[in-house]
């Protein structure tokens, strides 16, 4: 019963001590990782640090109740934080109550949209985001995020939502670089790169198991946080111009509805849709990868509802849009998380932090948080993918490159819309030019093959064409013209036979084109026939008037067609091979 | 030489007396038909009557110089006039100089867009307008146009751009109906329906040939125009509240650039694009149908340039957007037009009318023009297509019905955008769920067939799957999940073989999914193989790292795959048929 209402709770059955141990250990490690991340991503989103903590509590519990992945770690993530900053920053000014309100509306709208998609079972629409577009988007977002954090590391003012704007703004303010801030920021960045790249091998050399070495390396940001807090506190660096996080209100998240301003909701809706889709796609990818390792599976439509619930929770508890984090989920999985209870315990850990530990973060330099962001997002940047995609497919490369350039030069939302549109157009262009072949009979058999690739027999008065694609609106008119032109090019042709062995569907537009083609060929004195029509397609044609208008016949096989339309072919062609047509073998 | 610069002039070579006679007669008949039409459609577009005459002069000459159809009759048409009224009416008020200026800008933008599309050889993009969307759009536009003309027939004021708005507005003003106007309007409408439906059979019964009977029937509107002008003049009905066309400036079109206001141009651009595409699609359909009857052919990209030139001409000579008219082109063809010179002579005929005959139209009742419009557009309404499309394909029906409802309830532009979007989504949904089949070996052969349709041999440890579609982003993730689930459902399976005989392409997203599937299957202890990969696809795969990561092999044929992976299959399966799987023949 409870499983039907809250499908996320299926794991409660058979929960045991081993699972509890796994979940508990994972929760401790993820909490340690999440504390600096949640503060840093709130900073990236232009929100006060507590918003990051709030987004890491109830949303995790909501996902545990409704989601389908046992190990996905939900919460604030870099790309969604950047998208939040871009969307909200367009409407209101950072630091105002309106800005926080708009971020709440964005989370709520995103939650409503995800839940609606899940209930309507529309998860498959996320497949419109092709892999090159996602990959380009993540790479460009990573570069943009890293650039946006440079100001915190340098201790200068800078603004802008595109790479050129950010670069120009930094360049103009480069004189104002604050020495102590730069020292902390650059030091933390170098330290974190060292931890990520070199510490793990060192620890393993020192005898630590690879799993423990990895977990220790993941605690790097916490070490940087503690060290730089102490540094600021001991040297009073906040007096020397080092910008710090400042007072964070203690206590649990406030429970309140976001502003109910229809104009604001309408303005934020497109961004909420994009954030939802991007977050969903990222989240499902990692959840699927992890589930496969244990031969579990995740249900995309339930994922939509789980992520939707998490965002609804974020929207009413002072957070901002959340989704499943890649690195965090992998850590959760590797640390032994077995069930969604790990997420609930992580939420408890963040809750304890929010209740008791926030005074400790008052002296935390923003430069340290910026360093953790830079190191995290640069690991997402994969410029090599550009080269690999170029080698594999020029069309996919174009979609990827366009996404990257538009994200960097115009903005995140424009970038993803450009990428999706371009990949759709490229796909339609490809599909609108299907492969088609003039075929002839392989001597002595009932098989028919491409005249360009095989030595085959053709009839001078029968043109036999095979189209290797379903017939539908994007290719119908082109095929109509091609078939007509080929028939019209040779005045000797009296019959055209379209071989439909690869045609799985004929839509209404293609039906119309076939009718038009029949008329055009009839006007030219050529009869039009079909052969090898599949059962379901034939059923459909019978429901239309096409077969009444067809000037020719429908043959069960192409062999039947040729023998009926030109009974003398075999004899004549075998005795008089027509090398100009049939010998062009390849 | 001249043919390269002005490809439309290719017909000059070999022009003879017979062609001249054909063109001349056609021009006379089309001119007689075009005079009332051009006045009426200008009224529909919210423009003064002379705009219709001007749009019927130079644009025809421009098309003759650049277009590729010998018989297409270009000029103002109903649907494009309605779209002009909708687009321009949103920005300015009818009757103002700004309104006329905006209509000129619309023509110029439309011309620029069409020429650009033609030069870029993008004519094929028009195939995105599927047949059900066009058909629904024309039907709904016809209804909307007829509804918009009722006010002229009733002699009342009414406004609105949607069917509900128009109906409400007419209902509110129904008390103000003008008796004499209604008599003229209703009389002309009934007369024109009679001419269209019954006169032709009568004339043929009286011994007239079908072609002459048809031409005589086409002169019905001119007869109605003459009769009602005389009626108004004799009875001074203009004093009795019958609204008349009024003074039309005599003379040739003014040559002037439209207003160069960047904001106006930007606001009108989306409408110009839609008008261009709709006009182009309509125009190409009729041009192709007519060309086929004489075994001629038209070149879509040259059509774009021809129609673009016509619109540019309209934009600088006081007209508004034009395109190829359906009924008018058929009349032109049937009356014997042989070359584009017929269009030039029609333009001359309209020029003479504009120079000499405009005073005659001063007393022409608007109700008569409205009647000609209503009768013309109602012939475009094809509600039966809804039923036929429903019977043929539910998806196509949905796109058609949505287009009709949105055109009638929201507007023409929203309608066509809805229809195109919906047909794309429907197509992608279909393509994202390709047909796939588990296959087994036909006993004693090397052929493999669907286990659901044939009695075949399968191996308990090898799952053989055939996908009947190229692998690309819209279906990649779905296939990945389906394949994984099918393999995971049976713990006995150790090998999955994907048969790629119907796979014409694998895009970068699908490649990523295949890699992910390989990993997921490997984690589950299952190896992943390919068989029957086509040459070009294999070349592409070799340029990626996929083959290094593949846990299995690539087999030339499925028979090779099965014998290598489970050498005992044939023997065992023949002795122990597995009816639960193989006997489900259909």
pLDDT tens per residue, range A77-86: 999 999 999 9
Closest Cα of chain A to B173: distance in Å?
35
The whole-number pLDDT of residue B282 equals 85
- If you search the block for the tokens 């033609």, which residue do you land on? B118
Token digits of residue A522? 């009839």
Answer whether B432 touches A (CB < 8 Å): yes
Record: contact A128-B540, CB cut-off 8 A: no
* Closest chain B CA to residue A434: B504
Record: contact B288-A520, CB cut-off 8 A: yes
The whole-number pLDDT of residue A433 equals 81
The whole-number pLDDT of residue A578 equals 44
The whole-number pLDDT of residue A264 equals 92
Greatest CA separation for chain A: 102
DSSP A357: I
Structural fold of domain A436-582 = Transcription Regulator spoIIAA (3.30.750)
The whole-number pLDDT of residue B581 equals 40
Q: What residues 284-303 of chain B have any CB closer than 8 A to a CB of chain A?
A: 288-289, 292-295, 297, 300
Answer whether B475 touches A (CB < 8 Å): yes
Q: Chain A residues with CB inside 8 Å of B395's CB?
A: 507
Record: contact B130-A508, CB cut-off 8 A: yes
Does residue B573 have a pLDDT over 50? no
A554-555 vs A495-499, strand pairing mode: unpaired
Q: What residues 241-260 of chain B have any CB closer than 8 A to a CB of chain A?
A: none
Cα B269 to Cα A539: distance, rounded to the nearest angstrom: 44
The whole-number pLDDT of residue B305 equals 94
Answer whether A475 touches B (CB < 8 Å): yes
The whole-number pLDDT of residue A4 equals 60
Q: Chain B residues with CB inside 8 Å of A431's CB?
A: 431
The whole-number pLDDT of residue B260 equals 87
Average the pLDDT over B544-549 and give the result: 90
Angle, helices A326-334/A262-293, rounded to nearest 10 degrees: 40
- Among candidates B294, B297, B477 on the partner chain, residue whose Cβ is nearest the Cβ of A127: B477
Which residue in A267, A312, A234 sits closest to A87, CA to CA? A267
Which residue in A291, A276, A262, A348 sits closest to A115, CA to CA? A276
Which residue in A244, A41, A271 sits closest to A145, CA to CA? A41
The whole-number pLDDT of residue A532 equals 87
Which residue in A541, A551, A406, A533 sits closest to A466, CA to CA? A533
Q: What are B236-270's pLDDT values in tens digits?
A: 888 888 999 888 888 888 888 888 889 999 999 99
Record: contact B520-A289, CB cut-off 8 A: yes
The whole-number pLDDT of residue A99 equals 94
* Closest chain A CA to residue B425: A125
Local confidence band at B217 (pLDDT 50, 70, 90 cut-offs)? confident
Q: Chain B residues with CB inside 8 Å of A544's CB?
A: 388, 391-392
DSSP helix/strand/coil, A283? helix
Q: Chain B residues with CB inside 8 Å of A523's CB?
A: 292-295
Number of alpha carbons in the 13 Å side-chain half-sphere of residue A470: 21
* Closest chain B CA to residue A134: B509
Which residue in A434, A392, A408, A431 sits closest to A132, CA to CA? A392
Cα B255 to Cα B261: distance, rounded to the nearest angstrom: 18
Cβ atoms A109, A274 nearer than 8 A: no
Answer whether A549 touches B (CB < 8 Å): no
Q: Chain A residues with CB inside 8 Å of B427's CB?
A: 472-474, 507
Q: What residues 126-145 of chain B have any CB closer than 8 A to a CB of chain A?
A: 126-132
Average the pLDDT over B364-369 and give the result: 92
DSSP B491: T
Token digits of residue B481? 């999940």
Closest Cα of chain A to B353: distance in Å?
37
DSSP helix/strand/coil, A324? strand
Angle, helices B394-409/B412-431, rounded to nearest 10 degrees: 160
State percent of chain B over pLDDT 70.
Answer: 95
In a mutagenesis test of the B interface, which of A434, A487, A509 is the best target, namely the one with the most B β-carbons within 10 Å?
Answer: A509
Answer whether B157 touches A (CB < 8 Å): no
Local confidence band at B7 (pLDDT 50, 70, 90 cut-offs)? low
CA A229 from chain centre, in angstroms, equals 37
* Burial group, residue A28, by CB count within 10 angstroms (0-12, 13-18, 19+): middle
The model carries a pTM of 0.74
Distances (CA, A) of A204 to A210, A215, A338, B531: 6, 12, 25, 42
- Among candidates A127, A130, A511 on the partner chain, residue whose Cβ is nearest the Cβ of B478: A127
Residues of chain B with CATH 3.30.750.24: 436-582
Token digits of residue A544? 């239309």
Size of interface A-B (CB pairs under 8 A): 160
Local confidence band at B584 (pLDDT 50, 70, 90 cut-offs)? very low
Average the pLDDT over B499-507 and give the result: 85
Does residue B8 have a pLDDT over 70? no
The whole-number pLDDT of residue B582 equals 38
Does residue B523 have a pLDDT over 80? yes
The whole-number pLDDT of residue B295 equals 67
Answer whether B277 touches A (CB < 8 Å): no
Local confidence band at B107 (pLDDT 50, 70, 90 cut-offs)? very high
Strands (E) in B38-186, as ranges, are 74-75
* Closest chain B CA to residue A546: B392
In a mutagenesis test of the B interface, which of A128, A429, A507 is the best target, namely the one with the most B β-carbons within 10 Å?
Answer: A507
- Among candidates A392, A473, A523 on the partner chain, residue whose Cβ is nearest the Cβ of B423: A473
ipTM: 0.73
Local confidence band at B310 (pLDDT 50, 70, 90 cut-offs)? very high
The whole-number pLDDT of residue A456 equals 86
Cβ atoms B141, B377 nearer than 8 A: yes
CA A532 from chain centre, in angstroms, equals 40
Cβ atoms A362, A177 nearer than 8 A: no
Kindly give the parts of chain A with pLDDT less than 50: 571-586
Closest Cα of chain B to A151: distance in Å?
36
């Amino acid at each position: 019963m409870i499983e039907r209402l809250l499908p996320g709770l299926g794991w409660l059955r058979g929960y045991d001590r081993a699972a509890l141990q796994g979940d508990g250990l994972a929760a401790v490690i993820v909490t340690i990782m999440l504390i600096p991340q949640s503060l840093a991503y709130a900073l990236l989103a232009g929100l006060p640090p507590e918003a990051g903590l709030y987004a890491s509590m109830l949303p995790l519990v909501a996902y545990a109740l409704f989601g389908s992945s046992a190990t996905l770690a939900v919460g604030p993530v870099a790309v969604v934080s950047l998208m939040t900053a871009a969307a909200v920053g367009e409407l209101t000014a950072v630091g105002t109550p309106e800005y926080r309100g708009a971020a709440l509306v964005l989370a709520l709208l995103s939650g409503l949209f995800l839940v609606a998609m899940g209930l309507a079972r529309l998860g498959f629409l996320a497949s419109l985001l092709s892999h090159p577009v996602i990959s380009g988007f993540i790479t460009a977002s990573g570069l943009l995020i890293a650039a946006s954090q440079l100001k915190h590391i340098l201790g200068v003012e800078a603004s802008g939502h595109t790479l050129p704007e950010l670069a120009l703004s930094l360049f103009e303010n480069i004189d104002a670089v604050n020495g102590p801030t730069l020292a902390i920021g650059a030091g933390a960045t170098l330290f974190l790169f060292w931890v990520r790249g070199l510490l793990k091998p060192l620890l393993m050399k020192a005898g630590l198991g690879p799993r423990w070495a990895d977990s220790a390396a993941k605690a790097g940001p916490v070490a940087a946080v503690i060290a730089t807090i102490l540094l600021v506190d001991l040297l009073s660096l906040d007096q020397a111009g080092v910008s710090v996080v400042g007072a964070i209100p203690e206590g649990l998240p406030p429970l309140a509805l976001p502003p109910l301003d229809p104009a604001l909701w309408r303005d934020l809706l497109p961004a909420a849709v994009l954030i939802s889709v991007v977050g969903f796609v990222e989240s499902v990818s990692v959840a699927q990868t992890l589930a496969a390792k244990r031969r579990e599976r995740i249900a995309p439509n339930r994922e939509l509802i789980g992520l939707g619930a998490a965002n609804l929770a974020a929207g009413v508890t002072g957070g901002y849009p959340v989704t499943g984090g890649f690195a965090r989920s992998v850590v959760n999985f590797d640390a032994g998380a077995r069930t969604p209870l790990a997420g609930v315990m992580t939420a408890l850990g963040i809750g304890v932090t929010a209740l008791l530990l926030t005074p400790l973060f008052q002296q935390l330099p923003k430069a340290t948080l910026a360093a953790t962001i830079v190191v995290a997002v640069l690991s997402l940047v994969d410029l090599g993918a550009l080269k690999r995609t170029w080698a594999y497919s020029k069309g996919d490369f174009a979609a990827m490159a366009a996404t990257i350039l538009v994200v960097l030069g115009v903005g995140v939302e424009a970038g993803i819309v450009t990428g999706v549109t371009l990949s759709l157009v490229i796909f339609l262009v490809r599909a609108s030019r299907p492969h088609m072949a003039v075929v002839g009979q392989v001597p002595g058999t009932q098989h028919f093959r491409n005249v360009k690739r095989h030595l085959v027999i053709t009839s001078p008065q029968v043109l036999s064409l095979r189209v290797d694609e379903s017939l539908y609106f994007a290719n119908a008119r082109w095929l109509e013209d091609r078939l007509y032109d080929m028939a019209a090019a040779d005045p000797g042709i009296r019959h055209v036979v379209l071989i439909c062995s690869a045609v799985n569907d004929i839509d209404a537009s293609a039906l119309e084109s076939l009718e038009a083609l029949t008329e055009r060929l009839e006007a030219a004195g050529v009869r039009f026939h079909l052969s090898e029509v599949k059962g379901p397609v034939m059923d459909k044609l019978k429901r239309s008037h096409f077969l009444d208008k067809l000037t020719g016949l429908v043959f069960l096989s192409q062999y039947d067609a040729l023998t009926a339309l030109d009974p003398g072919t075999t004899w004549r062609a075998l005795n008089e091979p027509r090398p100009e047509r049939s010998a062009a073998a390849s």
